[in-house]
Amino acid sequence: MSKSLQIEVNPLLCASQERVILGELSYAELKQIQQDIAPSSSAITVELMFTKVRKFVVLTGRISSNLVVQCAACLELTDIEVDIDVKLALINNEGLMSLVPDGYEPYLFEGDKLLMSELIESEVVLVLPSIVRHDVCPIELPKSSASKDFMPETEVKKNPFGALESLKKH
Ligand SMILES: [Zn+2]
């Protein structure tokens, strides 16, 4: 399961071959969500298959992972389980958007090639909450922000894992 998913495929050809895509996208390979998750996140595991429904190329299967993100309340790390039931109709023409088969989400790509890693990350982006909080934080939080000195927002940096990342490289 170490086959790279940074591959470009021709969806039409894949559909005619009923090609199966198995593999993993590691943290290091991520482009869209790397800033939002911690390096200790699991790889994104993928089992997808190209087929056809009517004249549409469809992609079905599963994208799963266990991502580690920072809790917005206590700034400790927390896990998010990702388990996506994929049912996409791949189209390269916006005009077909309203015609995709029932139960399928349209996925628009350009030209006649599709970068698998990009599609996979785009699907994960859709389920990744923009703000993550523990149900119950493991550490005691300040009771109120009544004090004028308590302004946690200013502490949140753009890339909260920058520090972790540099530690990891040593
Ligand atoms: Zn928390």
Interval 85-115: pLDDT, tens: 999 999 999 999 999 999 999 999 998 999 9
Q: Please tell me the distance between residue 137's alpha carbon and the centre of ligand 1 in angstroms.
A: 4
Q: Please tell me the distance between residue 33's alpha carbon and the centre of ligand 1 in angstroms.
A: 20
Q: Please tell me the distance between residue 80's alpha carbon and the centre of ligand 1 in angstroms.
A: 13
Q: Please tell me the distance between residue 148's alpha carbon and the centre of ligand 1 in angstroms.
A: 22
φ and ψ at residue 78, rounded to 5 degrees: -145, 160
Walk across the sheet containing 20-25 and list its strands.
Answer: 20-25, 44-53, 56-70, 77-91, 105-108
* 37, 66 contact by CB (below 8 A): no
**Tens place of pLDDT per residue across the chain (170 aa):** 446 799 999 999 999 999 999 999 999 999 999 999 999 999 999 999 999 999 999 999 999 999 999 999 999 999 999 999 999 999 999 999 999 999 999 999 998 999 999 999 999 999 999 899 999 999 887 765 544 555 555 444 455 555 555 555 55
Q: Please tell me the distance between residue 42's alpha carbon and the centre of ligand 1 in angstroms.
A: 20
**DSSP letter assigned to residue 41:** S
User: Which value, in Å, is the radius of gyration of the alpha carbons in the chain?
Assistant: 20
Q: Please tell me the distance between residue 140's alpha carbon and the centre of ligand 1 in angstroms.
A: 9
| pTM (2 d.p.) | 0.79
Q: Please tell me the distance between residue 96's alpha carbon and the centre of ligand 1 in angstroms.
A: 43
